[in-house]
Every structure is written in C-alpha cells, then in structure tokens.
Structure 1
Amino acid sequence: MAPSKKKHATSQPCIIPGGFAVLSIQFSPDSVARHSLYVKEHKVRAEKTSGRPLDRTLFVLNIPPYCSEVDVKQLFSQFGDVQSVELRDHPGSSHESGPRLSKFFRPAEKQGFKVGYIVFKKPSSLPAVKSHPHDVPLVISTKQHPVKTGVEKWIQQYTESFIQPEKLQQIVDSFMEDYDKRKQQEEERQKAEANQQQEDEEGWVKVTRGHKGAKARPHSEAANQRALQKEMRKKKRKELMNFYTWQHRNTQKEHIAELRKKFEEDKQRIALLRAQRKFRPY
C-alpha cells in the first residue's frame, strides 16, 4: 500500500471558545510530554493608564510552576521584544499604587500554575503569537537558556537567599527614598487642594472647572477637616441648648415643688385656725 500523502500537521493556530489561542510547549527539545498555554489579547478598559497597554499586552493562562518571569520572557521573545512580564496567582489589576518591593521583603510565592501579563514593545507581536501553529511546540529549556529544576533549582534558590549587608542596605535606602518622594508629593497635592478650596472672609469657596472629560475630584483632607469642625461646633451648640432646656425644666420642677409645699403648709395653718376659733356658727 502506498503511503498516505495527507499531512497530519495542520500548521494552523488553534482557537478555542473565549478567544484563546492554544500554544503547545515542551520543557526540552528531547521531551515527549507537552503542555498547553492559552493566550489572548488583554482588553480591560479600566487599565488604560496602567502598565498594561491594551494594544501590546498578552494575557496567558496555565503557566507551569517551573517557569519564572525570566523564562517566560525568553520564551516569548521570539515573537518580538518583550518590555515586561508579570506573573500572578490569579488575574487582577496591576499594583502600581505603591513601590515595588524587593524579593527579600515580599511574601513567599505559592507554588502552582500561574497567569501572566506579557507586554511587548510593538503591537505586531500579538498577532504573531496568536497565529503560531498549535502543532509546533515552543521549547522552554535550551542550551542557550537552560532552566534548572529539582535539586539544582533548590540549590540555586538557597544560594540566592543569602544577601550581603551592603546590598540589603542599598535596597532599603532606595525604598525609603522612593517612600519619602511619594510622601512629599502627597503633601504637596493636599496643600494645593487646601489652597484651592480655601474659604474667603464671607465663607465662599472658589471652584475651578477642570479640563473636558475630567472626573469629579473627591473632597480634600482640608475640606473634610473643616466640615468635621463645623459639625463639632454645631453639636456643641446643640448640647448647650439642651443643657439650658434641662436647667429651665429643673427650675420649673423645683418651683412647683416649693409651691406645693407652701400650699400644704397653708392648709395646715388654716385647719389650725379653724380649730382654735371660739365662734362656731355651724
């Protein structure tokens, strides 16, 4: 029988429901087992101004535990220059509100499959990833970039856990400088808002109109403080009025009690006079 000329390799991308493209990976070139990654373009409107631009960010699911951010960056660099890689335990918004902590001050990472956000330098890298054939696996560990596992990985992690005091001091100083800078910027912002919302002699507050499309800004700390002081003064006046009302009622009660006492005394005096008089017409 003549051999079949039909090719088993489709050389076509595999798209599953949800818009995810399936990428096949294997640990080494001689590895038989394969693993599947599910990728799609990251589209979240709430993160337009974050570090995940909508036209250059790739969302990846089912990343193996032995893959670090460096390994993922090396794996996807064949589709284009990678700007940044972020691995997380669960999908979520990026953490840009605070300074990035060093690995020595972060909690221990959970061992398990992760999700990733890969930011490319060019938007053309996203179609290249999604159009990659499903039957052509990507190799993680190569001769140029070997990935350590097992005892070798544990020894490497144990060795990297030690840090020189000079390097640790440098990390702490850098963190404190960034913290002081952020604190100074926050104080300047609060001061600017306080000056902008400062009341004049008649109690008016000058309000300026922001640029078109700007969202309403929340009350500043100074405005909240003034509102709190105003409520405290109102509460004190109310307590004072309540005290005066209570004092007036107490005075009335005492006056009524005195009148009743005097009335009883007068009744006893009249009864005594009636008993003492000699002329009794009835």
Structure 2
Amino acid sequence: MAPPKRKHARNQACVIPGGFTVLSLQFSPDSSARHSVFVKEHKVRAEKSSGRPLDRTLFVLDIPPYCSEAVVKDLFSQFGSVRSVELKDHPGSSEEPGPRLSRLFRPAEKQGFKVGYVVFESPSSIAAAKSHPCDDPLVVSTQLRPVRTGVQKWIQQYIESFIPTDKLQQIVDAFMQDYDKRKEEEEERQKQEAEKQQEDEEGWVKVTRGHKGAKARPHSEAADQRTLQREKRKKRRKELLNFYTWQHRNTQKEHIAELRKKFEEDKQRIALMRAQRKFKPY
C-alpha cells in the first residue's frame, strides 16, 4: 500500500535533473528546519590543477554561510577521509600555485552561500556521498563540534582578530624568509642565463630565449667599446658624405652661373643683330 512504498523510498538517495544528489543539513539535533545542498562528482576535463583529481573530487552547491571549510570537512568526513576542502563564491578553476598568504594579508571574504570542492582520499567516498539518503540529515553543530552563529560568531571573530605579537612576528618572519629564498633563486637563474649568453672568441653572442618577464642581460665592457667604435665610424662616414654633398652643390651653382652668363651673351647678340636688321629667325 501507499505507506510502505513511502517508507521504502525514504531510504533512497534523491537525485534531481543534472545529476545532482540532494543532501539535507540540520543545524542542530533539536532543530526542525533543514537546508538542502546539492552534490555531484567533479568531472571537468579542462581542469589542469592536481588539487582536484577527477575521480576523488565532489562538487557541492548552496553551502550556507555558517559552514566554514573546517565544518564542511567534518560533515563529509563520515563518507571517508577528506584531504582538502575549497570554498569559493562562484564555480571556477582552482587558484594558481604559489605562496599561500596568511589571513592577515588576504581581503575580507564575502558573506553568502558558496560552492565547494571536497577532495577525498578514496574514490569510494564519492559513491558513499551520492548514495546517502535525503531524509537522513547531516548535523552541522553538535556538542563535540559546536558552530557559533549570530552575535556569538561576531564576538568570536573579534577575539580572533587580535593576534599575539610573537605569533605575528613568526608569520612575518616566515613570509620574509620565503620571499628571500624566491629572490635568491631568481637571481641565480638570471646569472646562469647571463653566463650562457657570454661572447665567444669572434665576438658573437648566443642569445637564448628566457621566460616571460626576464630582464635583458647586462652589457660587458668589450661590447660597450665595440658599440662606441661603430658609432664613431658612422659619424665619420656621415661627415664625408656631407663633404661630397657640399662639393656637388658648388658644382651645380657654378654650372647655373655659366648658363646664366651664356644666356646674357645670347641676349646681347640677338639685340645687336636686330639693330643691324640682320635677324632672320626663319
């Protein structure tokens, strides 16, 4: 009859269109309100980050604001050992590899519902999470794992905002040591590239393509001397060319003067022939 069928369906997982499985969240054991999150196996082929393996990553939607990464890790630990949890405002590729900044240097996070990527140690944990019954809620706040909200959460955040001086000094020292190490590695790499691009016996330089953003190699003293000599030769050739140009201009002026003198002589001869009436143009 109808009641046994409803009881049988209660023990099954709720799968909605799109391949998402619905999981219920219950804030406390005595709370009557429930919140639904939607989970799905992460299968983005364009994902190149090793931090999200395709066979062990669970994609979670609609995570409430009171669930931090530690709370999400505890919630999904019942399905298997969790390696890492990443919460973001919107779905997207993972962050670029690099030094992880302390929370002191990171901007304030937005408060709101988030999406998450839960990475398990075993692929079987994905199947366990997807087959969890919808009517069996996951309890967020328990006596062993209390989660503060409202004014209590603000008071806790305010207290945690004050960091002891010695701990802050340790964080700064660790950051500066990492920065100095990366700086030394960059200088060593530039030095090796400069040695590869040294000049040979005939003065030729082997130029290799460096990484993006690499600085130009420093010029040697011999290269600077050759550059000065080339500039001097260019200057001498330019002076010689200018001298010949000046001589050519004088020659043209003399030729024009001769043409004008001949023109004046022809005019005088024609005027004399007209006076003698012996001018016969035809």
| TM-score after normalising by structure 2 | 0.73
* 1:190 CA displacement: 5.3
Amino acid at match of 1:24: S
* 1:5 CA displacement: 4.0
Which residue is 1:12 aligned to?
A: 12
> CA separation of 1:50/1:261 partners in 2, compared to 1, >3 Å: closer, same or farther?
same
- The question of whether the paired residues in 1 share the 8 Å contact of 2:49 and 2:94 is answered with no
Trace 1:114-263 onto structure 2 (pairs within 5 A).
114-189=114-189, 220=211, 225=216, 254=249, 258=253, 262=257
> CA separation of 1:189/1:50 partners in 2, compared to 1, >3 Å: closer, same or farther?
farther
Which residue is 1:270 aligned to?
A: 265
Which residue is 2:222 aligned to?
A: none
Amino acid at match of 2:253: E
Which residue is 1:95 aligned to?
A: 95
> CA separation of 1:268/1:205 partners in 2, compared to 1, >3 Å: closer, same or farther?
closer
Which residue is 1:84 aligned to?
A: 84
Unmatched tracts of structure 1, length 5 or more: 208-217, 227-232
Amino acid at match of 2:86: E
Structure-1 separation of matches of 2:73 and 2:214: 48
Amino acid at match of 2:134: H
- The question of whether the paired residues in 2 share the 8 Å contact of 1:48 and 1:54 is answered with no
User: Between Structure 1 and Structure 2, whose CA radius of gyration is higher?
Assistant: 2
* 1:135 CA displacement: 1.4
> CA separation of 1:184/1:126 partners in 2, compared to 1, >3 Å: closer, same or farther?
farther
For each residue in 1:150-172, what CA deviation from the matched residue of structure 2 results, as whole angstroms up to 9, or x when unmatched?
00000001111111222122111
- The question of whether the paired residues in 2 share the 8 Å contact of 1:63 and 1:116 is answered with yes
Aligned residues: 259
> CA separation of 1:182/1:272 partners in 2, compared to 1, >3 Å: closer, same or farther?
same
* RMSD between aligned residues: 4.1
> CA separation of 1:192/1:70 partners in 2, compared to 1, >3 Å: closer, same or farther?
same
> CA separation of 1:79/1:3 partners in 2, compared to 1, >3 Å: closer, same or farther?
closer
- The question of whether the paired residues in 1 share the 8 Å contact of 2:13 and 2:132 is answered with yes
SS at match of 1:45: coil
Identity of aligned residues (%): 60
| TM-score after normalising by structure 1 | 0.73
> CA separation of 1:78/1:179 partners in 2, compared to 1, >3 Å: closer, same or farther?
same
Which residue is 1:210 aligned to?
A: none
* 1:29 CA displacement: 1.2
